[in-house]
Structure 1
């Protein structure tokens, strides 16, 4: 082991590393920028038998920074053992797991630790931003200082990139499984932690963790998924739930997390269409078996309508219908129009409407026996599965501000309504409307410096689709008065200005390209 400090730190950051090379530079830089003093935390890198220059890079870092330490182990081929070794060598009151190609917000450790200590948390989850990969959304709508699996969408966040009280990990022997199956190792550890935790907190007012996907797909856990191993691991996650949660609505709701994300999502849209046919047949067979063996009727019945349809096809082995439905879903997008937009001082006033489309046409329903039935491209789907009446009423339109560069995302407070709009041949479709009135200087806790792209998120009937708006909000500094840029108005003005100021031929050349090209 290289490096080390003398006193016990507040936080130990445990990082499994394998052939990461320069990919870990963002993480290292973020650790060196932490607002928590270096004497109060340590970074424990566990090199999992790297074969490139990673060991030398880590040793050099440990030599240069006393609060960085390195442990070298033989290659295990998976993050579980490096993480467990990192915990064994850590000395902090709390342990934070970070992957070698992700990075932390500058104040992440200080804010997370202070929140955990203030509320006596066994588990602390900091808001995440995704860079080329998805992160939980609903969980981070607000701070949650007493979150449980019953009162919040904790189950949406099963990666290990969280802060855990070290004594809590030791008390319950919470470690990552190293034996076969290795897949979903973080799910099995984290769901046990949620079920055993006396206090779990969610810190949503600061982006603590930046979750990224390497351009070459080389994340530590990026491996070809073997359906047999993967779904054996999923069954073990269900076994953990069974051991702690009695049969009933809560257990069914927890089951739905794996049913949606690890099972049915693989049989939807481009994800299914782009997969090798033989492989997707194996996946579908595993899903069919779990549906039949493990899930009662209440599990799938609680899904949004489109998921219920996919589950129905999967359980029945209807591969051709799954493919037809996936092709239709792959063309499903969100559409939106800005109905009002103005900046009154620092207050952004915005009204926007949004709806779902497939292949350029609104996703339609047809009224039958006082129910709205989804119009599908597949025959022989029971009306109860196509019934979206309640789902359309529960649907919503969120307005989201996303900061360029950092990818911080915040929900803007909005009043939402919905209506049915008549279409051709006796059909209709749902249109959602959101009205925003917010002092932009207060957005993101007042940390507003930068350029924010506004977009809308349509959430209806099991689909969640984003569509960017042609609106940018720019703040010169935190809390500074914002400036609003409407790209639809800006580019025509730019073209007119160019034509007025340069010769005709050159103006035509400068303004003839595609916008933004």
Structure 2
């Protein structure tokens, strides 16, 4: 008996069916069966299903003699399902990699609940991805519960495909799908009302395809009247369960009203001639099923007036549209006035006297005291205390996280404008907003965020995919304000001057953020390991994947993190840090958050200081992240996992072939990566040689005194000394105090 039975009804989806089936059959979790139902599809769905069944014994195909619709096609597959749990997957949707393993682990952890609710992401035909906006509901508890104990679970989209169902629970309760277009409604509500134990999985397990055409519920027609009959079926279910009716009838009554009014409000659902009839039918049901003594929410009271309420409802909606149009025009007028006032303000600001001791700092789009600007600020307070340092932050949340005694201004505030207008020095690792004036007597110092491997600046003009949403000419106009560009070596100097053909001077200072790495002692990183909960003596593997421009959203799961953690084995801790631009997207919902919760990996994406993570780790695994240029300063091993190098370079472009000039061994498949780790080759003599050559080529100005050099030469005006060079053949102890170059 398999753990999962995946029931897939198919009708006119030949363009999506293979992707759907592959997403199930290629899962690392294999204890499944697929019950595919050909709902008398007129295209090649039946042939595709038979092809897959011939190749994989886990696939069972049922061909129906007539088209019965989505719900009854699922019913046809149910008697053939033998798994412990049922999954109903629509044939144009896909499971995400690792989804079944995550489901199986969560079910075992929750001791086989009746229902498991998991997360999903909408994937749009034009390439966009948007996570379920109520995902936080799934992350609120590890315990099982009933819907009565946590009614907010019913605020989630009430569909069949975002849940896993224990088969004997379904059979005991006699749940089946009715005919019709809103067939999910009389399945999901009764299931959730009746379940004694519900669990949640805070992980995106399914990609919900938003097709440009073909979604029956997004088209216009009288089929939407079917929603009334489906809610009547749910009320009939409650009538047969008095113990449930008292609790859930008022909720269902309000939910029905909200759902029907939502359908009525959509411009593409009902023909205009049918809207009054739909409203009348909704109002009749609303009055007929009103629980005795129930209080009606204000937004639903229009339904109590029946057909007389429809003109008022329509007027309110149309008035809302008119109000939004008036507001849009007002915004345009305000913008025009603001533009004129802005030009006046700029003229006034440039007349204000510059404060020769004022240094304004910002990092990573005003996120806090971070990166190179932070290192410069710390050194300035040490050796030039007369300089007044002021940080720009985005808002009060960022301000609250600043170190004690850090002077700051909020972006856009009056204090902010006064600070950037009067500052003698402006230090940033991101371009300043275009509204920040460049005065002849002020100095702009740009630190960058790392040594470039991928194309940057003007080099992106030939890469339309990589510069999507990026105005390169405007970026270069902002870079025209730079006076100094900090570089870590001559390679970086060449690349930055090529990428930004502007009027700055390259400052051969080294990277201030890396001073802490060059000067690291044997105890460096110990506090970070303790804070992260790394067991004493464990080898810490830091995995840092970059963005992929060939995928909208930027995230491509190249490595199965659960598998990597398992293959590393006891005595190892896997720490994952996503690129900061991926922190707020759907990437963490694709398994990382769930694995972190279960202690399989440590999600360090939100750690503000990446230097601490590098010091706390013993090995870096990355794809093409600029982090490798910094990490080699620790003289600890680096593995480059380059399984999609061709795709990456074709979309983004790279200044050199990292697979030919890597800081360590290169893997082009997970099998190769696993071998490098298991064999100990990751820290052999060849790895040390590659790392030394890489460091010599790219880090020649990194001598541990970069911040001091910036302060003394660029802020205080002292002569620029030649960098001492990065220490050569040295071995920095790893975070556990052991020599990583020792034999495995």
Structure-to-structure mapping, 1:79-478, within 5 angstroms: 79-119=70-110, 120-132=112-124, 137=134, 139-143=137-141, 145-152=143-150, 153-156=152-155, 157-161=157-161, 162-178=163-179, 182-204=180-202, 206-218=203-215, 224-226=221-223, 228-244=225-241, 245=243, 250-261=248-259, 263-268=260-265, 271-272=266-267, 275-296=270-291, 301=296, 303=297, 305=298, 307-308=299-300, 310-311=302-303, 315=306, 317-330=308-321, 341-345=366-370, 351=395, 405=552, 448=578, 451-452=581-582
Query: How far apart are the structure 2 equivalents of 1:283 and 1:211?
Result: 28
2:19 to 11, 15, 26: 26
Query: 1:431-454 deviations in whole A, cap 9, x for unaligned?
Result: xxxxxxxxxxxxxx9684684496
Q: Contact (CA 8 Å) 1:13, 1:97: kept in 2 or not?
A: yes
Q: Contact (CA 8 Å) 1:34, 1:108: kept in 2 or not?
A: yes
Judged with a 3 Å threshold, the aligned counterparts in structure 2 of structure 1 residues 108 and 72 are, in CA distance, closer, same or farther, namely: same
| Aligned partner of residue 282 in structure 2, secondary structure | helix
Query: How far apart are the structure 2 equivalents of 1:141 and 1:226?
Result: 36
Query: How far apart are the structure 2 equivalents of 1:453 and 1:248?
Result: 43
| Aligned partner of residue 61 in structure 2, secondary structure | strand
Query: How far apart are the structure 2 equivalents of 1:202 and 1:407?
Result: 27
Query: How far apart are the structure 2 equivalents of 1:482 and 1:273?
Result: 45
**Equivalent position of 1:488 in the other structure:** none
Cα RMSD over matched residues? 4.0
2:48 to 57, 70, 79: 57
Deviation at 1:251, TM superposition (A): 2.9
Deviation at 1:188, TM superposition (A): 1.3
Query: How far apart are the structure 2 equivalents of 1:293 and 1:407?
Result: 51
Query: 1:81-123 deviations in whole A, cap 9, x for unaligned?
Result: 2212222112211111110011112121111122223322111
| Aligned partner of residue 164 in structure 1, secondary structure | strand
Judged with a 3 Å threshold, the aligned counterparts in structure 2 of structure 1 residues 227 and 87 are, in CA distance, closer, same or farther, namely: closer
Judged with a 3 Å threshold, the aligned counterparts in structure 2 of structure 1 residues 225 and 129 are, in CA distance, closer, same or farther, namely: farther
Query: How far apart are the structure 2 equivalents of 1:481 and 1:189?
Result: 39
Q: Contact (CA 8 Å) 2:6, 2:33: kept in 1 or not?
A: yes
More strand by share: 1
Query: How far apart are the structure 2 equivalents of 1:406 and 1:173?
Result: 42
Larger radius of gyration between Structure 1 and Structure 2? 2
Indicate yes or no: 2:69 matched with 1:78.
yes
| Aligned partner of residue 101 in structure 2, secondary structure | helix
Query: 1:149-175 deviations in whole A, cap 9, x for unaligned?
Result: 223223234211121111112222222
Q: Give the alignment's TM-score, normalised by structure 1.
A: 0.59
Deviation at 1:12, TM superposition (A): 1.0
Q: Contact (CA 8 Å) 2:85, 2:166: kept in 1 or not?
A: yes
Judged with a 3 Å threshold, the aligned counterparts in structure 2 of structure 1 residues 351 and 165 are, in CA distance, closer, same or farther, namely: same
Query: 1:304-333 deviations in whole A, cap 9, x for unaligned?
Result: x5x246546x63623332222112444659
Deviation at 1:352, TM superposition (A): 8.1
Query: How far apart are the structure 1 equivalents of 2:608 and 2:89?
Result: 36
Judged with a 3 Å threshold, the aligned counterparts in structure 2 of structure 1 residues 454 and 197 are, in CA distance, closer, same or farther, namely: closer
Q: Which runs of 5+ in 1 are unaligned?
A: 1-7, 354-402, 409-444, 456-476, 485-517
Deviation at 1:221, TM superposition (A): 9.8
More helix by share: 2
Q: Contact (CA 8 Å) 1:449, 1:478: kept in 2 or not?
A: no
1:44 to 35, 44, 61: 35
Deviation at 1:249, TM superposition (A): 6.2
Q: Contact (CA 8 Å) 1:227, 1:282: kept in 2 or not?
A: no
1:35 to 22, 28, 37: 28
Deviation at 1:51, TM superposition (A): 1.0
Query: How far apart are the structure 2 equivalents of 1:288 and 1:255?
Result: 11
Judged with a 3 Å threshold, the aligned counterparts in structure 2 of structure 1 residues 83 and 344 are, in CA distance, closer, same or farther, namely: farther
Q: Contact (CA 8 Å) 1:47, 1:55: kept in 2 or not?
A: yes
Structure-to-structure mapping, 1:487-498, within 5 angstroms: none
Indicate yes or no: 2:57 matched with 1:66.
yes
The size of the alignment, in residue pairs, is 355
**Equivalent position of 2:342 in the other structure:** none
Query: How far apart are the structure 2 equivalents of 1:169 and 1:135?
Result: 26
Query: How far apart are the structure 2 equivalents of 1:406 and 1:67?
Result: 33
Q: Contact (CA 8 Å) 1:105, 1:208: kept in 2 or not?
A: yes
Query: How far apart are the structure 2 equivalents of 1:286 and 1:327?
Result: 21
